Amino acid sequence: MDIVQKLVSGFALDLGPLKEPLGFIRVLEWVFAIFAFATTGGYSGSTHFSVKCTDKELEVNPTFGYPFRLSADSYKIPSCNDSKVFTDAYLQGDFSSSAQFYVSVGVFGFLYCTATLILYLGYQNIYRQTTRGPIVDLVVTAAFAFLWLVSSSAWGKGLTDVKWATNPDHIVEVCAATCTPGEYPSMGRLNASVTFGFLNLILWAGNCWFIYKETPFHKDPNPPATMEEGGVPGP
């Protein structure tokens, strides 16, 4: 209870840091982290092909979505002899590991941005009072930059595999009946998710410089003495 009271009493809202690169870039990271995990985690799509019968064509629309465990999503292929008779089929592949890793990095990055923005705007005096705050912030930000690199690269490869597995041309190759490919699934949202991942990498890596300037590693630990401080003037 005492800790809560101290936090409340020590809070002093100051929007000044938002005008500085340190705070402004953190807001951009917060926004782009939301875009990254929202475009991936909320995706749902479908691919299309048709079963060619003697006198008709029957449309089939297999659906898939996050976390892209495609082999667990079944769809039904109708029979040409009886449209009420269906055969169960499955898409191929499990790409959930790269997708879930990418979304996890986005969610944790969003939470860290939220926490540090509260620190910047409400407890700026505490943040800059000691060297520990900027140093920890620098280490965590650099770690997130590395995680964005790894997760975005992994998800980019995973998305390529998802496109291959849901390609109607590929699906009809393994179709038990005579099938013809239809429309390709819309992947614009997932393409944007990979782009947001690499944009986050640039933002978090670039922000390391501005956080580094807040640490004692950037400042001169032994500034030259001035005349008022009793220093000896140079030649």
Tens digits of residue pLDDT in 172-225? 887 766 778 888 999 999 999 999 999 999 999 999 998 888 887 765 555 555
Q: How confident is the prediction for the chain on average, in pLDDT?
A: 84
Bridge partners of residue 51, in order along the sequence: 58, 179
Q: Is 171 helix (H, G, I), strand (E, B) or coil?
A: helix
- Please compute Rg for the chain using Cα positions: 27
Tens digits of residue pLDDT in 88-127? 888 889 999 999 999 999 999 999 999 999 988 887 777 7
- In this structure, of 24-28, 51-55, 88-92, 145-149, the range with the lowest mean pLDDT score is 51-55
pLDDT at 8 (0 to 100): 54
Global pTM? 0.84
pLDDT at 235 (0 to 100): 47
pLDDT at 90 (0 to 100): 86
Q: Could you give the dihedral angle defined by the CA atoms of residues 203, 137, 19 and 29, in that order, rounded to the nearest 10 degrees? A: 30
Cα 157 from Cα 94, distance rounded (Å)? 13
Cα 222 from Cα 219, distance rounded (Å)? 9
Cα 161 from Cα 166, distance rounded (Å)? 9
